[in-house]
Amino acid sequence: MNEIHDYAIIGDCRSAALVSREGAIDWLCWPRFDSPALLSALLGEGAGRWSLRPARSFRAERAYIEDTNVLETRFFTDGGTLALTDLMPVAAEAEKRRMLMPDHEILRMLGCERGEVDAEMRLEVRPNYGRDRPTIRRAGELGVRIETPEGLLTLRSDLDCEVRDDGVVTARGRLREGERRYISLSFAAQWQAIIPPLGDRARQAIQRSIAWWRQWASKLEYQGPMKASVVRSALALKLMIYAPSGAIVAAPTSSLPERVGGDLNWDYRFCWLRDASFTVRALFGLGCYEEAEAFLSWLLHSTRLTQPRLRVLYDVYGRQPRSERELSHLGGYRGSRPVRIGNAAADQLQLDVYGDVIDAAVQFVRRGGAFDRDTQRMLCAFGEYVCEHWRQADEGIWEPRSGRAEHTHSRVLCWTALDRLLELHQNGCLRRAPAARFAAARDAIKNEVETRAFNASRQCFVATLDGDRLDANLLLLPWYGFADAASANMKSTYAAIRDELGAGGHLLYRYRESESPEEGAFGICSFWGAEYLAMGGGTAEEAARALEELCGYNNDVGLFAEEIEPSSGAALGNFPQAFTHVGLISAALTLARRLGHQARAPAQPAAGEQPAAGG
């Protein structure tokens, strides 16, 4: 079985597929990221795979075409070289108005670059996470029709296809130097299908997609260290944005293990509010204003039904995901069971989300935005909720299923929520806020954190009030403006975290390894460490070294999972992980500002245009 980092992602900003180094698509959910998987060999043999590769032994190399999410895999065989181009075609809205396009499509192009190569294809669609068998029939020139409960798949191929009795579609063909073959799998859920022709149309779709991604990447304003890693992270993040709503999924996969063979297997195909602040700051920092404002708009709309209570996570349309279930028929990635769909963390209490959502909203105002009255009322209601509940214990950012505690991080985020609301009030953006009440609660939280979350004997901040454990999320205290990165208390906290949670080099565990044995170093926590240095906790050179080292843990196409196995550098957890890429971008932006590369500061209100965000 492939390693997690042997995969690359392709997508169309609505859904995604994982492609292995051997040219196999082992994960595909259509029509949305969180739809039941049509191909899920990633989580169990026989659960659906689409492979396309040379018939004989080969060596493979791959890379994304520069500044795109179009993947190119080159197979080197004794007889010749075969290039496989994989993508989900995308187009600008104006182009979509001028032509018919399938709702969803995976387009694969084989091109022989040298010699002669026999290629073989094998498609086994197993809808509903491998539980169902589709109805398959040949439909003449319309291709092979594969009826699934989710919709109709249409396979069209330049290779001669055979539909076997066991529901597998196979094809084989010989390509000589200069020859090309196209294979298209398209999907229609609610409408009459659009059946794409191959040939020139397919070639144009590839060119159009490459141009679309490059045009998007050209708008990135980042000029600073590790630019290639930042651009790849931005492209990965863009793939995980559900374009119709602006929501961003944490990852496009479910149940890739945080501990191989273990039970830390979760479904990440939803949108976590805790990611809001980092994500919005990263998007604004990169110059992705449309994406940042769409995400913020989703954030404020999606929470309408539960306000002022904020839930931990929502689906891409702001609904509650279905309850968590285990798929006992799947063996799991390398035996990591159970495989879960849905996420029970949705019912947890995480008070930190208020700070993240409000901080995200403030980033919009700092860039010249303004809120309508409904949104102002909503933000005030969040503040009132925080004033009433900040003393409660909660599950905290890591969503343990072992119960609640008084988490320092959650308290600091409650402080952040009230501090930002008071900033909005002082700027005249939140006129009717109960400022005195907010200020009193904010000061009380600060006082409590400073007295009960700072362990005098250890001389550092600790994970829970009156506790002695450390947590990498304490590195965020300066990021939210609660503490000065260069202060003695933060420096001693950083030193203690490096000492106790260090996993080699600049890698960090999120908490003590003994609390979760065999779990990997946490990607975003490691980037928080680098960003802490960039914020003033260390020198710029130290921060640059840390960032460069951490960027080196990506896979060959620049992607990160949630965690990194420290000894081998292998990826662990769901893949690719938006939060890790956001952490990379955030650290790079902070370092770039410190080095003077990046003119764009996060905190100053922009003059001039005042875009309005509705709630």
Give the shortest CB-99-to-another protein separation in angstroms. Answer: 5
CA angle in degrees (0–180, nearest 5) for 209-126-7: 50
Query: What span, in angstroms and rounded, lies between the C-alpha atoms of 524 and 560?
Result: 10
Evaluate the omega torsion of the peptide bond into residue 434 and state whether it is cis, within 30 degrees of 0: no
Closest residue by Cα to residue 35 from 103, 121, 87, 135 = 103
Query: What span, in angstroms and rounded, lies between the C-alpha atoms of 386 and 329?
Result: 43
148-156, 157-165, 303-311, 491-499 -> range binding another protein (CB under 8 A): 148-156
194 or 217: CB nearest another protein: 194
Give the shortest CB-180-to-another protein separation in angstroms. Answer: 17
194-202, 359-367, 368-376, 435-443 -> range binding another protein (CB under 8 A): 194-202
46-54, 190-198, 349-357, 488-496 -> range binding another protein (CB under 8 A): 190-198
Binding positions for another protein, 82-111, rule CB under 8 A: 96-100
Of these, 29, 38, 155, 188, which contacts another protein (CB under 8 A)? 188
142 or 603: CB nearest another protein: 142
Of these, 63, 142, 381, 495, which contacts another protein (CB under 8 A)? 142
Give the shortest CB-317-to-another protein separation in angstroms. Answer: 14
How many chain residues interact with another protein (CB under 8 A)?
A: 29
Write each residue from 592 to 611 as x if it is in contact with another protein (CB under 8 A), else as -, in one continuous string: --------------------
192 or 457: CB nearest another protein: 192
Give the shortest CB-52-to-another protein separation in angstroms. Answer: 21
Closest residue by Cα to residue 68 from 188, 203, 164, 208 = 208
Q: Per the structure block, which two tokens stand in for 498?
A: 């490096």
Give the shortest CB-93-to-another protein separation in angstroms. Answer: 9
Supply the DSSP symbol for 614: -
R_g over Cα of the chain: 25
205 or 327: CB nearest another protein: 205
H or E stretch at 466? none
Give the shortest CB-191-to-another protein separation in angstroms. Answer: 5
Give the shortest CB-387-to-another protein separation in angstroms. Answer: 42
Length of the chain: 615
Closest residue by Cα to residue 431 from 385, 380, 383 = 380
Binding positions for another protein, 149-178, rule CB under 8 A: 149-152, 154, 156
DSSP string across 297-342: HHHHHHTTTTTTS--SEE-TTSPPPPPPEE-TT---GGG----EES
Residue 137 makes contact with another protein by CB under 8 A: no
319 or 329: CB nearest another protein: 319
141 or 160: CB nearest another protein: 141
Three-class SS state of 47 = coil
- Give the CB-side neighbour count of residue 425, counting CA atoms within 13 A: 18
Give the shortest CB-316-to-another protein separation in angstroms. Answer: 18
Q: Per the structure block, which two tokens stand in for 605?
A: 């209100």
209 or 233: CB nearest another protein: 209
Query: What span, in angstroms and rounded, lies between the C-alpha atoms of 560 and 502?
Result: 19
33 or 187: CB nearest another protein: 187
Q: Per the structure block, which two tokens stand in for 602?
A: 């996060």
Q: Per the structure block, which two tokens stand in for 459?
A: 């001389």
Give the shortest CB-149-to-another protein separation in angstroms. Answer: 8
Write each residue from 201 to 220 as x if it is in contact with another protein (CB under 8 A), else as -, in one continuous string: x-------------------
Residue 192 makes contact with another protein by CB under 8 A: yes
Residue 195 makes contact with another protein by CB under 8 A: yes
Q: Per the structure block, which two tokens stand in for 566?
A: 């420290």
Residue 1 makes contact with another protein by CB under 8 A: no
Beta bridge partners of 508: 502
Residue 190 makes contact with another protein by CB under 8 A: yes
Query: What span, in angstroms and rounded, lies between the C-alpha atoms of 20 and 123?
Result: 14
Residue 431 makes contact with another protein by CB under 8 A: no
DSSP string across 72-106: EEEEE-SSEEEEEEEE-----HHHHHHS---SEEE
196 or 332: CB nearest another protein: 196
H or E stretch at 335? none
197-205, 262-270, 435-443, 526-534 -> range binding another protein (CB under 8 A): 197-205
Give the shortest CB-188-to-another protein separation in angstroms. Answer: 6
Residue 189 makes contact with another protein by CB under 8 A: yes
Query: What span, in angstroms and rounded, lies between the C-alpha atoms of 64 and 59?
Result: 17
Residue 193 makes contact with another protein by CB under 8 A: yes
Q: Residue 492: how many CB atoms within 10 A of its CB?
A: 15
Of these, 57, 140, 218, 608, which contacts another protein (CB under 8 A)? 140
Using CA atoms, how far residue 527 sits from 80, 274, 384, 551, 586, in Å, is: 42, 16, 33, 9, 8
Q: Per the structure block, which two tokens stand in for 386?
A: 């925080």
Residue 436 makes contact with another protein by CB under 8 A: no
DSSP string across 507-550: -B-SS-GGGSTT--EEHHHHHHHHHHIIIIIS-HHHHHHHHHHH
Cβ 87 vs Cβ 10: under 8 Å: yes
CA 557 from centre of chain: 15
Of these, 57, 59, 141, 599, which contacts another protein (CB under 8 A)? 141
143 or 558: CB nearest another protein: 143
Give the shortest CB-179-to-another protein separation in angstroms. Answer: 21
Contact set with another protein (CB under 8 A): 96-100, 139-143, 145, 149-152, 154, 156, 188-197, 200-201
